[in-house]
A and B are shown apart, each in its own frame.
Chain A
Amino acid sequence: MRRALLQPRVLWFSLLGVVLIVFPYAHGWPLFDGSINNLGFFTVEITEFRTFNLTMFGVWFLVVMSMNLLTGSSGQISLGHAAVVLVGAYTTGILFVEFGVPLALAVIVAGVFTGVVGGVLIGLPGARLAGPYLAIATFSLIITMPQILKLNGIDSLTNGALGIGIRPVEAPDFVNDVLGAVTGGAVAVDGRQWIYYMTIGTAVLMAVLLWNLTRSRIGRAFVALRDSEIGAEQMGVNVPFYKALAFGISSFYAGIGGGLFFVVQTFVAPESLRFNDSILFLLAVVIGGLGSILGSVFGALFLAFQAELISNLPDWIPGLSRVRDFERLSPVIYGSLLIVTILTFPRGLAGIVQSVRSLGRGGRNGALDLPLLSPIRGALRNLSAGLLGNSDSDGRGKKE
């Protein structure tokens, strides 16, 4: 029974694994060289650049998982997550450039460091703050971060406004030696492909760990304190501790993501990630799906491809090409996207997938209102009712 349930899943994951492994070579293959033009409405070009694209997807996946654990699971809203990612990126850069720590080790140490800093310096004091106040505190964090990085004294490490740069990573020689020997020189890994594998590998590994965590007593404690703080406390959950722990684990993920961000981009500066990015991370979590790993996958896809999608919009919507500088409207587009998501599918894209799947199984539709979103939903409904002048009296926005 259990085995039978497992089979298709194993098959799908294996297939996904194979695709991820061969992907950096696909652009050289006959079918894929140049481009597959025009999938009806959208042009997908499989070029070498796509490997970089997917590498960035891996980075964003780590960051969105981090955000999703914090906000989706434990219900703490941070507007300063970009600052936490920056800490990871800078720590990696400083360890590598100033102290000669090997890059891979530097990323790991940066993750741990960021986790401790996030848990102890932000999470512990933040655990005493109710939602809006935590949001404000973390907001001030991202606003002041560039100044902090440029402070006298610190700037000798961070290189001030100039930031830290490194040469692109090359694949280690032994890897190519082994590959060459095994395949008779047919396959080699270049730097771009190597960093792709490292990033995707790390992201997949950390997704598995997170998956385990969400199904454990600790992961359940996070969701419990989100759903009812007093209920969780009275069931034995040390609420401030677990809030800080969620912040710490989340910061660890963000730190690893930030470290890889630096390695992939080969550069970090005080304004590499800003308040806008914090908002994008939140948006990615909500659009992808709160509190689920599949949701984080969708959220990371959104982050990796949103710029491209936006710049493609004029191809699909004829009138748009006549709007000058329409890219500057992207905040409007994101804002609308957010409102539509919260109102129509509060569990994000992952929620849609889950509903479709449970329909297929004839199960009940788990269309649940998440506690985190219901106040926002209620407010939005009232607002839209006010604007449109229709009284939405079915009470869907209300609490039970």
Chain B
Amino acid sequence: MSLLEVDSLSIQFGGLVALDGVSFEVEAGAIMGLIGPNGAGKTTVFNCMTGVYVPTAGSITFEEHDLLQMQPHQIIGTGVARTFQNLELFGSMSVLENLLVGQHSSMRANLLDCLLRLPRAVNEQRQARDRAGEVLEFLNLSEHRDVPVAGLPFGLKKRVELARALVSSPRLILLDEPANGLSHEEVNDLIELIRSLRDEFLVTVLLVEHHMGLVMAVSDKVSVLDFGRKIAEGTPNEVQQNPAVIEAYLGAPRAQPE
């Protein structure tokens, strides 16, 4: 059984069919690419997985969890963490504090612990700081630890989001256009980074991306969506040569984000 199984996922917004019977599987330890032209439904897949949207049909199973039965805030506790296409950071907080919120679901201190700074609150907070420190180190963010996130440049913000997702020790991470806005060198670093996510952190990666160089370099398998339907799936090579994919990308030219 695969780590993640998405089966016949469908959702409509008013008359618009955003997803139409999309199915795919992600093996544990894989890096899987999810591509498609603008508006194909990639982000919508993420939003269905994490409870932001409730699909009209289909099922999503992560390990033994039926994700569609869960509240949005419970998803991260199962081991699925995500980043956002448009940043959803906590702007007034420091980088460190963002990473502490990233560990919210694994912390247990209750109201009384927090008000009185009882040992449970103090201890788990110390552990959470240590854990955040490790992740910041790994992502080269240590020097920005105490800086309010709102003032950071875009590229760093994207990295903080990645750190915030990673700090919860997920088994599956959903990355929504991590290369967006990055320079050429930064994309090369990102390729290394995504590989090390899997190899060192043992995280399975589901990657939504428009940067084809990146997707083709890191993915074991790529799924292609167009107008809410899966039109192809295979190795990067197979997908690149698939006529339906070429048609989707070239047939109806649509603006690519920079």
A contact residues around B88 at 8 Å (CB):
228, 230-231, 234
**Known pairs A218-B109, A219-B114; A234 contacts B52 (CB<8 A):** yes
Q: Is the CB of A234 within 8 A of B76?
A: yes
CB-CB under 8 A for A212 and B114, given A227-B92, A234-B50: yes
Q: Of B72, B93, B109, B124, which is within 8 A of A234 by CB? A: B72
From residue A336, how far is it (CB to closest CB) to chain B in Å?
26
Minimum CB distance partner of B83 in chain A: A234
Say yes or no: B93 contacts A218, CB within 8 Å. Answer: no
Q: Which residues in chain B, 80-137, are within 8 Å of chain A measured between CB atoms?
A: 82, 84, 88-93, 97, 100-102, 104-105, 107, 109, 111, 113-117, 121, 124-125
Prevailing SS type, chain A contact patch: helix
- Hey, which chain B residues are within 8 Å of A231, CB to CB? 84, 88-90
B243 at interface by CB-CB < 8 Å: no
Tell me if B71 counts as interface (CB < 8 A to partner A).
Answer: yes
Establish whether residues B93 and A224, one from each chain, have CB atoms under 8 Å apart when the complex forms: yes
Interface string of A3-26 (1 = CB under 8 A from B): 000000000000000000000000
> Which bucket holds chain A's interface residue count?
20 to 34
A339 on interface, CB distance cutoff 8 Å: no
Q: Shortest beta-carbon distance, B36 to chain A, in Å?
A: 22
Q: Chain B binding site: helix, strand, loop or mixed by DSSP?
A: helix
- The segment from A80-88, A99-107, A365-373 that touches chain B is A365-373
Contact with B along A228-247 (1 / 0, CB 8 A): 10111111111100000100
For residue B99, give the distance in angstroms from its CB to the closest CB of chain A: 10
- Tell me the bound Cα distance from A238 to B104 in angstroms: 10
A:339-393 near B, CB below 8 Å: 364, 366, 368-371
Q: Does B77 contact A (CB under 8 A)?
A: yes
CA distance A209 to B111 in the complex (A): 11
CA gap between A371 and B89 in the complex, in Å: 12
Does B148 sit at the interface, judged by CB under 8 A? yes
B151 at interface by CB-CB < 8 Å? yes
The verdict on A400 contacting chain B, using a C-beta distance below 8 Å, is yes
B168 within 8 A of A: yes
**Is B17 engaged at the interface, CB distance under 8 Å to the other chain?**
no
- Which of chain B's residues have a CB closer than 8 A to the CB of A328? none
Residues of A within 8 A of B84 (CB): 230-231, 234
Q: Confirm or deny: A223 has a beta carbon within 8 angstroms of a beta carbon on chain B.
A: yes
Q: Are B150 and A400 in contact (CB under 8 A)?
A: yes
Residues of B within 8 A of A237 (CB): 73, 101, 104
Task: Check: B75 CB closer than 8 A to any chain A CB.
Answer: yes
Name the contact of B114 in the complex, choosing from A218, A223, A235 (C-beta under 8 A). Answer: A218
Task: Decide if A204 is an interface residue (CB 8 Å cutoff).
Answer: no
Would you give the shortest CB distance from A395 to chain B, in whole angstroms? 15
- Contact indicator A369/B150 (Cβ below 8 Å): yes
Interface residues on B, range: 35 or more
Q: Is A142 an interface residue (CB 8 A)?
A: no
B 132-189 contacts with A by CB, 8 A:
147-148, 150-151, 164, 168
Bound complex: CA A228 to CA B97 (Å)? 14
- Asked if A209 and B150 make an inter-chain contact with CB atoms under 8 angstroms apart, the answer reads no
CB atoms of A234 and B82 under 8 A apart = yes
Q: Is A216 an interface residue (CB 8 A)?
A: yes
For the complex, what is the distance from the CA of A213 to the CA of B105, rounded to whole Å?
Answer: 17
Q: Does A50 contact B (CB under 8 A)?
A: no
For A217, the chain B residues whose CB sits under 8 A away are 100-101, 104, 107, 109, 114, 121, 124-125
> A230 to B76, alpha carbons, bound, how many Å?
13
* Minimum Cβ distance to chain A for residue B53 (Å): 11
User: What residues on A are CB-neighbors of B125 within 8 Å?
Assistant: 216-217
B residues less than 8 Å from A212 (CB atoms):
114-117
A368 to B152, CA, bound (A): 12
Min distance, Cβ B73 to any Cβ of chain A, angstroms: 5
Q: Does A220 contact B (CB under 8 A)?
A: yes
Is A46 close to B, CB under 8 A?
no
A221 close to B (CB within 8 Å): yes
Shortest C-beta distance, B40 to chain A (Å), equals 21
Q: Out of B76, B111, B113, B117, name the residue touching A235 (CB < 8 Å).
A: B76
Which of chain B's residues 36-56 have a Cβ closer than 8 Å to chain A?
50, 52
How many angstroms from the CA of A110 to the CA of B203 in the assembled complex?
51
Complex Cα distance, B105 from A278, in Å, reads 35
Known: A224-B90, A227-B89, A230-B88. A235 touches B116 (CB 8 A): no
Whose C-beta in chain B lies nearest to the C-beta of A229? B88
CB–CB A232/B101 < 8 A: yes
What's the least CB distance linking B81 to chain A, in Å? 8
Asked if B101 and A238 make an inter-chain contact with CB atoms under 8 angstroms apart, the answer reads no
Complexed CA–CA distance, A369 and B91 (Å): 9
Query: Among the listed A224, A368, A371, which residue makes an inter-chain contact with B151, where contact means beta carbons less than 8 Å apart?
Result: A368
Q: Are B76 and A220 in contact (CB under 8 A)?
A: no
Q: Would you call A368 and B115 a contact (CB within 8 A)?
A: no
What chain A residues lie within 8 Å of B168 (beta carbons)? 235-236
- Whether A235 touches B164, Cβ cut-off 8 Å, given contacts A209-B116, A224-B93, is yes
Given that A220-B97, A366-B148 are known contacts, is A235 also in contact with B105, CB under 8 Å in the complex? yes
Which chain B residues lie closer than 8 Å to A368 at the CB level? 91-92, 148, 150-151
Give Cα A226–Cα B91 distance, bound, in whole angstroms.
10
Q: How far is the CA of A236 from the CA of B93 in the complex (A)?
A: 17
* Pairwise interchain contact A216-B121, C-beta atoms closer than 8 A: yes
B91 touches A235 (CB 8 A): no
Q: Give chain B residues whose Cβ lies under 8 Å from the Cβ of A209.
A: 115-116
A–B pairs, 17, beta carbons within 8 Å? A213-B115, A216-B117, A217-B100, A217-B104, A217-B124, A218-B114, A221-B101, A228-B91, A230-B52, A231-B88, A234-B52, A234-B82, A235-B105, A236-B77, A238-B73, A291-B92, A364-B147
**What 12 new A-B contacts, CB under 8 Å, besides A216-B109, A217-B104, A228-B89?**
A218-B114, A224-B90, A224-B101, A227-B89, A232-B101, A236-B76, A237-B101, A238-B71, A249-B111, A291-B92, A368-B151, A400-B150
Residues of chain B touching chain A, judged by Cβ–Cβ distance below 8 Å, are 50, 52, 71-77, 82, 84, 88-93, 97, 100-102, 104-105, 107, 109, 111, 113-117, 121, 124-125, 147-148, 150-151, 164, 168
